[in-house]
Structure 1
Amino acid sequence: MQQHAYIKLVPSSKQQSITSEEVKNLFRYYKEITSKTGTQLGWEYGQSAFPYSMEEKSEGKDRWFYLKGTDRQQFKYIMIGLDIEEKDETNTSYIQVTLPEGYTHGDKGKANEFCKFLAKQLEGELHLFNGRIMYYYKKK
């Protein structure tokens, strides 16, 4: 069964909208900083921290892409989509992270880790797979 998590860009977030390319850049930044951590520790941590390749199909251009596991035993896929929630007269952009059917425990663990990273970087509101909410934006 599929599971979904959401990172909502609320009025207190760093930005109010986001593009597919900006999300990919955040993943590249994540991969870069984890690789540097591995270098400092003398361990190839980069591949373990981000065991996926980013892939995009033409029908999902600028709307969604997926992370394809490089170690197909432990990691399969994580889908990343972008959309806007229209509520009353306000529009809230959000990133949807989907674990497709047949996901592994490794996928779910990495998806949780990526969601927390993205929410922290964007100062957003994270709705986890289990329904709980984490707030990463500054409260006034």
Structure 2
Amino acid sequence: MSQSAYIKLVKGSQDQELTLEHIKATLLRYREQTARTGEQLGWDYAEAAFPYTIESSGDERWFYLKGINVHYKHIIMGPSTSTSVGGDQVPCIQVVLPEEATHGDKAKANELCRYLAKSLAAELTMFNGRTVYYNPRK
């Protein structure tokens, strides 16, 4: 059975709407940052930190990350809506691990979810149901 994580743009988040291109741009920024870290260390860290290629789907509602080696298969991402604690519909990023996903996919998806949530100052509901708040709360 597939598992999902949600990165919700709640009150206090940097952005209040999401597009497919915005999500892709954030992932590309992550890949660029890890490549720079690898240059400083003298190691090809970019491939280890982001072992995927970004592949488009046919309907442009979502995209998937396709693994470049045998330890990684697929992660699916796309904008969606979710219900917040107050019952309101809020924009979110849904991250799906399909049935054929590996343990490496789940670990990397957790890492990418944390990065996306932190960069968007959002609320993250992880695959295990726990919630992490990266947004400023009062």
1:102 Cα shift? 1.4
Mapped partners of 2:135, 2:58: distance in 1: 34
Calculate percent identity across the aligned residue pairs.
Answer: 49
Q: Does 1:135 align with 2:128?
A: no
Query: Aligned with 2:30: secondary structure?
Result: helix
Mapped partners of 1:115, 1:85: distance in 2: 16
Aligned pairs for 1:1-140 within 5 A: 1-59=1-59, 61=60, 63-71=61-69, 73-85=70-82, 90-140=88-138
Mapped partners of 2:92, 2:116: distance in 1: 11
One-letter code of the match for 2:72?
Answer: F
1:89 Cα shift? 7.9
Render the CA deviation track for 1:73-118: whole Å, top value 9, x for unaligned: 1000000021123678843000000000011010000000000000
One-letter code of the match for 1:82?
Answer: P
How many residue pairs get aligned? The number is 137
Coordinate RMSD, CA, aligned: 1.4
TM-score by length of 2: 0.94
Structure 1 stretches of 5 or more lacking a match?
none
TM-score by length of 1: 0.93
Mapped partners of 1:103, 1:125: distance in 2: 24
Structure 2 stretches of 5 or more lacking a match?
none
Mapped partners of 1:75, 1:29: distance in 2: 20
Render the CA deviation track for 1:2-59: whole Å, top value 9, x for unaligned: 1110000001100111100000000000000000000000000001100000011222
Mapped partners of 2:57, 2:27: distance in 1: 18
Instruction: List 4+ stretches of structure 1 deviating above 4 A.
Output: 86-89
Query: Aligned with 2:35: secondary structure?
Result: helix
